[in-house]
Amino acid sequence: NAGVTQTPKFRVLKTGQSMTLLCAQDMNHEYMYWYRQDPGMGLRLIHYSVGEGTTAKGEVPDGYNVSRLKKQNFLLGLESAAPSQTSVYFCASRTLYGYTFGSGTRLTVV
Amino acid sequence: TQLLEQSPQFLSIQEGENLTVYCNSSSVFSSLQWYRQEPGEGPVLLVTVVTGGEVKKLKRLTFQFGDARKDSSLHITAAQPGDTGLYLCAGMNYGGSQGNLIFGKGTKLSVKP
């Protein structure tokens, strides 16, 4: 099925560990996004990309890095995880009229 | 900073009732989108409205974009348990922030049978 695929779906990290979240889309979209969703805070933009090889900071970029080496993939990295990064992470790609979201990664940092 | 305020934050109703969810801002948006999110899943686009005063219908759901393109509403007629979920409005401006969406915090709807 066409769409946005996120891996993994669940992960538990210890404080200070690193990990990479993978997002893949097969719709040939130029724009891709990483959001985090927290209770009472809504969806907040972490980083985004307007095309292969480009990245830009969103609203809450600190503690995260991203890469877009291939058009279909957008990676989100946590170099040294902190409990404040416990959240549900969503990747999305964009058409002219709306976003298509993945099903999310639930990350817990203990 | 552009903000979108959604109300109510929570809504619990019985099957068959009607409801309206509101999305308001002091800013003008090029377009306004509504998403529904179910537990454990990502938001799914329901509709995009782009013209001030525009009304779109999706079965029992009616979406309206305000004349000044600062607000929107979602009306559900005869709600069903399958309508349960988190409803998010999101505004887009093509000019400024690379067309990034600004999301409201959502309205959590529970429809009881």
Mean pLDDT for the stretch of residues A94-105: 90
Chain A contact for B104 (CB, 8 A cutoff): yes
- pLDDT confidence of residue A79: 92
Question: B104 phi and psi, to 5 degrees?
Answer: -75, 170
Nearest chain B Cα distance for residue A24, angstroms? 14
Give the CA count within 13 Å in the CB-facing half-sphere of A27.
20
The secondary structure of chain A, three-state, reads CCCEEEECCEEEECCCCCEEEEEEECCCCCCEEEEEEECCCEEEEEEEECCCCCCEECCCCCCCEEECCCCCEEEEEECCCCHHHCEEEEEEEECCCCEEECCCEEEEEC
Dihedral sign, CA of B28, B30, B34, B40?
Answer: negative
pLDDT tens digits, residue range B5-49?
Answer: 999 999 999 999 999 999 999 889 888 999 999 999 999 999 999
Mean pLDDT for the stretch of residues A7-11: 96
Search chain B and give the residue with CA nearest A96.
Answer: B99
- Please check the confidence at residue B68 and state whether its pLDDT lies above 60: yes
**Residues 76 through 95 of chain A touching chain B, CB cutoff 8 Å:** 90, 92, 94
What CA–CA distance (Å, rounded) separates A81 from B74? 39
- pLDDT confidence of residue B96: 53
- The DSSP code sequence of B36-75 is EE-TTS--EEEEEE-STT-EEEETTEEEEE-TTSSEEEEE
What CA–CA distance (Å, rounded) separates B101 from B83? 24
**Residues 57 through 96 of chain B touching chain A, CB cutoff 8 Å:** 88, 90
- pLDDT confidence of residue B38: 95
Q: How confident is the model at residue B69 (pLDDT cuts 50, 70, 90)?
A: very high
Q: How confident is the model at residue B78 (pLDDT cuts 50, 70, 90)?
A: very high
